[in-house]
């Protein structure tokens, strides 16, 4: 009986306290909202409607009335940066950092936002310094990734490698582009005068180790192809043609789609040892399973110059039937039109081949390019890293026409 009486007293008291607290909070919220300028709500409305110009004007007016609105200044700086008004964004974030009463958390955010402003403006030195100052706090991961982009843009591969290792410590997982950083160092060593062969070997070992840390599914792609090609290049510079050829032959297994990129070098290696027909047979067999314009051009050129006109045209006709390609036909006609004397083509005597080739070539110029699968950047050369978006392994080893 005492227990029931106790609850009869407590329940109304608790209910009353809750009602009083809710009324107090509501009154406080309404009281505080009266102090917010009308421009603040206008700015929010414009922002929700994605009218950034009017939103900025409204928020600037609020900021002038109350310079202590930290979050509003952050919003303004972000809007300025998004619209490309980098100088105004920098001023907003610098003004926040100049405030002596700014809490440590807000100082860190302001410094990170300022670093992003510098990066967007292309001021890499200042951006690097600012990101370095936020490597240990809340923005450690984002700042580390930004530093990697900066070092990539500057082709500072040693520092990129160092920063990627720091990123691996934060993520506890491998970073695929690390393989390419070491490969870039190998390319630099091989391009030196004279080539730095020992250093190239050392960096290539590091690239192979980085590749071994990646998931199995990623080991049969571009990174493996690049490492194999570099092995062949080093062997060729060392004067070991057979070893270089051996590495190129492994491309058929480790990265079959990339064989077109090394087909000419591989065939040249066979020709040097008097085994041109063997090399041609390998490429033709591979072409049946992995057709590409690069491979087509190598095979057709060899047949036309070393075997004869009729076998070359027979290969071209069969290839174009199975895999129709204006680029293939364009390359074929280009070779035929360069022939002289008895080598002049008699396959299509009734046609004006020169006119036909000009018509086709005009149309195929825009197709004879490699294209980034991420941003669409097109280039005549093959890139491991896209010059447009700076992402790695976004170029397929096929021309634009083959991808459509």
Q: What is the pLDDT of residue 35?
A: 43
Asked if residue 242 and residue 149 are part of one domain, the reply reads no
In a domain, residue 262? The reply is: no
- CA pair distance 231, 214, nearest whole angstrom: 20
- CA pair distance 296, 401, nearest whole angstrom: 14
Identify the CA nearest to 203 among candidates 234, 175, 225.
234
For residue 239, count other CB atoms closer than 10 A to its CB.
8
The domain boundary, picked from 227, 257, 287, lies at 257
Burial tier of 218 (Cβ tally within 10 Å: 0-12, 13-18, 19+)? middle
Q: What is the pLDDT of residue 15?
A: 53
What are the φ/ψ torsions at residue 325 (nearest 5 degrees)?
-155, 125
Residue 365: both structure tokens together? 């110029």
For residue 354, count other CB atoms closer than 10 A to its CB.
10
Q: What is the pLDDT of residue 102?
A: 79
Identify the CA nearest to 204 among candidates 222, 181, 177, 221.
181
In a domain, residue 362? The reply is: no
Contacts of 350 (CB under 8 A, 6+ apart): none
The domain boundary, picked from 147, 170, 193, lies at 170
The domain boundary, picked from 234, 257, 280, lies at 257
Burial tier of 42 (Cβ tally within 10 Å: 0-12, 13-18, 19+)? middle
Q: What is the pLDDT of residue 129?
A: 95
| 3-state secondary structure (DSSP) of residue 99 | coil
Domain of residue 106, CATH code: 1.25.40.10
Identify the CA nearest to 92 among candidates 108, 111, 72, 77.
77
* Domain assignment of residue 122, given as a range: 67-170
Q: What is the pLDDT of residue 39?
A: 46
First to last CA, the chain: 84
Asked if residue 193 and residue 222 are part of one domain, the reply reads yes
Asked if residue 163 and residue 181 are part of one domain, the reply reads no
Q: How far is CA 307 from CA 262, 285, 320, in A?
A: 21, 17, 20
Contacts of 361 (CB under 8 A, 6+ apart): 330, 334
Asked if residue 141 and residue 72 are part of one domain, the reply reads yes
Q: Is 341 left (phi over 0), alpha (psi -120 to 50) or beta?
A: left
Q: How far is CA 94 from CA 58, 107, 204, in A?
A: 21, 10, 44
Report, as ranges of residue numbers, the positions in the chain whose pLDDT lies below 50.
Answer: 1-3, 6-7, 10, 14, 17, 19-44, 46-48, 63-67, 342, 347, 349-351, 355-356, 359
In a domain, residue 49? The reply is: no
Number of domains in the chain: 4
- CA pair distance 341, 338, nearest whole angstrom: 10
Asked if residue 182 and residue 145 are part of one domain, the reply reads no
Q: What is the pLDDT of residue 36?
A: 46
Asked if residue 187 and residue 130 are part of one domain, the reply reads no
Asked if residue 251 and residue 232 are part of one domain, the reply reads yes
- CA pair distance 340, 176, nearest whole angstrom: 50
Asked if residue 155 and residue 178 are part of one domain, the reply reads no
Q: What is the pLDDT of residue 258?
A: 94
The residue written with tokens 């840390």 in the block is 213
> Is 183 labelled a binding residue?
no
Q: Is 325 left (phi over 0), alpha (psi -120 to 50) or beta?
A: beta
Before 194, cis peptide (omega within 30)? Answer: yes
In a domain, residue 325? The reply is: no
What are the φ/ψ torsions at residue 385 (nearest 5 degrees)?
-120, 130
DSSP code at position 323: S
In a domain, residue 10? The reply is: yes
Q: What is the pLDDT of residue 108?
A: 93
Q: What is the pLDDT of residue 160?
A: 96
Give the CA count within 13 Å in the CB-facing half-sphere of 294.
23
Asked if residue 163 and residue 75 are part of one domain, the reply reads yes
Cβ–Cβ < 8 Å for 286, 248: no
Q: What is the pLDDT of residue 218?
A: 63
Cβ–Cβ < 8 Å for 134, 97: no
Q: What is the pLDDT of residue 339?
A: 57
Question: Partners of 370 in the beta sheet?
Answer: 379
Asked if residue 243 and residue 204 are part of one domain, the reply reads yes
Asked if residue 156 and residue 79 are part of one domain, the reply reads yes
For the stretch 116-147, pLDDT in tens is: 999 999 999 999 999 999 998 899 999 999 99
Q: What is the pLDDT of residue 41?
A: 43
In a domain, residue 119? The reply is: yes
In a domain, residue 358? The reply is: no
Asked if residue 188 and residue 160 are part of one domain, the reply reads no
Identify the CA nearest to 229 among candidates 198, 213, 207, 196.
207
In a domain, residue 40? The reply is: no
- CA pair distance 136, 159, nearest whole angstrom: 18
């Amino acid at each position: 009986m005492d227990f029931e009486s106790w609850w009869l007293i407590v329940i109304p008291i608790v209910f009353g306290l809750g009602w009083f607290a809710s009324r107090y909070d509501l009154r406080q919220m309404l009281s505080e909202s009266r102090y917010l300028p009308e421009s603040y709500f206008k700015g929010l409305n414009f922002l929700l409607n994605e009218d950034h110009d009017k939103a900025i004007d409204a928020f600037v007016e609020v900021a002038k009335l109350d310079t202590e609105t930290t979050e509003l200044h952050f919003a303004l700086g972000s809007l300025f940066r998004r619209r490309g008004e980098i100088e105004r964004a920098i001023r907003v974030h610098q003004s926040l950092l100049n405030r002596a009463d700014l809490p440590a958390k807000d100082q860190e955010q302001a410094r990170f936002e300022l670093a992003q402003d510098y990066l967007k403006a292309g001021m890499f030195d200042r951006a690097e310094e600012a990101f370095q100052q936020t490597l240990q706090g809340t923005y450690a991961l984002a700042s580390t990734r930004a530093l990697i982009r900066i070092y990539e843009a500057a082709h500072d591969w040693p520092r990129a490698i160092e920063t990627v290792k720091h990123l691996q410590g934060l993520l506890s997982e491998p970073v695929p582009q690390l393989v390419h950083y070491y490969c870039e160092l190998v390319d630099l060593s091989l391009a030196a005068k004279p080539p730095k062969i020992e250093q190239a070997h050392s960096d290539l070992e590091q690239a192979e180790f980085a590749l071994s840390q990646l998931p199995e599914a990623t080991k049969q792609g571009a990174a493996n192809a690049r490492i194999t090609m570099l092995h062949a290049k080093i062997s060729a510079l060392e004067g070991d043609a057979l070893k270089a050829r051996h590495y190129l032959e492994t491309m058929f297994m480790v990265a079959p789609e990339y064989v077109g990129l090394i087909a000419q070098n591989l065939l040249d290696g066979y020709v040097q040892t008097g085994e041109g027909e063997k090399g041609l047979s390998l490429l033709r067999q591979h072409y049946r399973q992995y057709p590409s314009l690069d491979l087509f051009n190598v095979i057709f050129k060899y047949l036309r110059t070393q075997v004869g006109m009729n076998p070359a045209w027979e290969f071209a006709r069969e290839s174009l039937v199975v895999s129709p390609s204006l680029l293939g036909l364009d390359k074929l006609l280009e070779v035929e039109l360069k022939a002289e004397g008895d080598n002049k083509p008699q396959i299509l005597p009734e046609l004006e081949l020169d006119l036909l080739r000009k018509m086709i070539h005009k149309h195929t110029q825009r197709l004879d390019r490699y294209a980034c699968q991420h941003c669409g950047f097109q280039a005549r050369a093959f890139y491991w890293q896209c010059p447009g978006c700076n992402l790695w392994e976004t170029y397929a080893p096929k021309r634009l026409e083959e991808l459509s």
